[in-house]
Amino acid sequence: MFDKNTTSGNPIALLQNVATANSQQERQSALKAVSQHLMCHSLEEVCSLAQKLPHILAQYQMDALDAYILSEDCPQELRVARDDLRQLLTPVFPALLVSGEALKIREKVDELESLSDYLESRVELREAILDLPPAEGEAVSGRLHHRLETLLLEEGVPRVLSTGNPPAGLAAQFALWLDVSACEDLGMEHLALYFLAPAQEGIRVWMPCCFTSKDGAREACAAAWVIAQLSPQLSRRERLELFYQLHQWTERTVLARAHVVCQTPDMAMLQALYLLLRAAYVLGDCCYWNAPIFQELAEYGRKHLHPAKTKEGN
Query: What pLDDT was estimated at residue 285?
Result: 87
Tens digit of pLDDT for each residue in 203-261?
Answer: 999 999 999 989 999 999 999 999 999 999 999 999 999 999 999 999 999 999 887 76
- For residue 301, name the pLDDT band (cuts at 50, 70, 90): confident
- For residue 6, name the pLDDT band (cuts at 50, 70, 90): very low
Rounded Cα–Cα distance for residues 89 and 86 (Å): 8
How far from 18 is each of 3, 174, 181, 202, 210, CA to CA, in Å?
A: 10, 12, 16, 9, 18
The residue-averaged pLDDT of 305-309 equals 52
SS (H, E, C) the chain: CCCCCCCCCCHHHHHHHHHHCCCHHHHHHHHHHHHHHHHHCCHHHHHHHHCCHHHHHHHHHHHHHHHHHCCCCCCHHHHHHHHHHHHCCCCCCCCCCCCHHHHHHHHHHHCCCCHHHHHHHHHHHHHHHHCCCHHHHHHHHHHHHHHHHHHHHHHHHHHHHCCCCCCCCHHHHHHHHHHHHHHHHCCCHHHHHHHEEECCCCEEECCHHHCCCCCCHHHHHHHHHHHHHHHHHCCHHHHHHHHHHHHHHHHHHHHHCCCCCCCCHHHHHHHHHHHHHHHHHHHCCCCHHHCCHHHHHHHHHHCCCCCCCCCCCC
Q: Is the pLDDT of residue 9 over 90?
A: no
Q: What share of the chain has pLDDT > 90, as a percent?
A: 77
User: Is the C-alpha dihedral spanning 251, 256, 260, 266 positive or negative?
Assistant: negative
Q: Is the pLDDT of residue 3 over 70?
A: no
Which residues neighbour 289 within 8 Å (Cβ) at sequence distance 6 or greater?
A: 224, 228, 231, 298, 314
Query: What pLDDT was estimated at residue 1?
Result: 46
Rounded Cα–Cα distance for residues 16 and 11 (Å): 9
Query: What pLDDT was estimated at residue 65?
Result: 95
Query: What pLDDT was estimated at residue 305?
Result: 74
Q: Is the pLDDT of residue 94 over 90?
A: no
Q: Which amino acid, residue 43?
A: L
Instruction: Find the helix packing angle between 134-161 and 76-87, rounded to 10°.
Output: 140
> 276-294: b or e for each residue (b if 16 or more CB lie within 10 Å)?
bbeebbeeeebebbeeeeb
Domain ranges of the chain: 74-162, 206-314
The mean predicted confidence, pLDDT, of the chain is 90
